[in-house]
Chains A and B, each alone.
Chain A
């Protein structure tokens, strides 16, 4: 339901930036899944890094900085997977050589622009940013689960499952933190 319970009550609420759902067909190649996942981790990493500087809450800063660092590690895992899968000894321009970045790489979970989301976040309270972050991690968790089901080789499946588990852990941490702040 768009607008959440505030909309139900007839209250006007400024919505979060419009988001979509990552979509790929059964024909999508494993390298494309790795590239797509890499871009989204990069977008999340940028978002969390910037938001960590924005918020004044100390614990919130630490949480977002921690999440940014983990998204950076996820990118490294995906790059490593790509190298193993493609047999490449170098990065070979990954991920741009597989999927063009579009919007100069300014994309995050949901297909949203990192710049637009950060502009939105500047006007918002910590709780609003936490709720958006929860939405992003939910998408991310779902995406990695689907990617893990799509790939045929065991190694790729394992990597996506590990990433999915990590995103689920992010969800739990964000959720616990939100519970304390509500």
Chain B
């Protein structure tokens, strides 16, 4: 086996799929996380998105409900 056998693709959703999901679901049915900086978040973010800058994600995982799907951007 070579090293490339140790990787598998990460599944991602298109923006359209995310849009459809958010329109269909209630805010309490999912976690929506913005991992950008505070400044970027303040300039504009997806409705209902919670800001957890990527450098803080590891320490703030408890803020997310693990029983719900989590969308990250």
Contact = CB atoms under 8 A, between A and B. Distances in A.
Instruction: Tell me whether A and B are bound partners.
Output: yes
Interface of A: 1-5, 7-8, 10, 18-24, 35-36, 39, 99-103, 107, 110-111, 134-135, 138, 141, 168, 171-172, 174-176, 178-179, 182
Contact of B19 (A8, A18, A23, A36): A8
Nearest to B45: A5
B50 to A, nearest CB: 14
Contacts of A102: 2-5
B18 A1 contact: yes
Nearest to A10: B15
A99 B18 contact: no
Given A2-B13, A5-B46, A24 B6 contact: yes
A35 to B, nearest CB: 8
Contacts of B44: 5
Given A2-B15, A5-B36, A102-B3, 6 more contacts: A1-B71, A3-B14, A5-B44, A10-B15, A100-B1, A102-B5
Contact of A21 (B7, B38, B54, B56): B7
B37 A20 contact: no
Given A20-B10, A175-B53, A182-B39, A5 B73 contact: yes
Nearest to A181: B37
B55 A2 contact: no
Contacts of A18: 9
Given A102-B2, A174-B55, A179 B7 contact: no
Interface in B26-73: 34, 36-40, 44-46, 53-58, 71-73
A101 B54 contact: no
Contacts, number: 98
B2 A22 contact: no
A102 to B, nearest CB: 3
Contacts of A138: 54, 57
B58 A99 contact: no
A24 B6 CA distance: 6
A101 B2 contact: yes
Q: Which 10 A-B pairs have the closest CB atoms?
A: A175-B55, A111-B7, A102-B2, A100-B2, A7-B15, A20-B7, A2-B12, A1-B73, A102-B4, A23-B8
Contacts of A22: 6-7
A62 B6 CA distance: 32
A176 B9 CA distance: 29
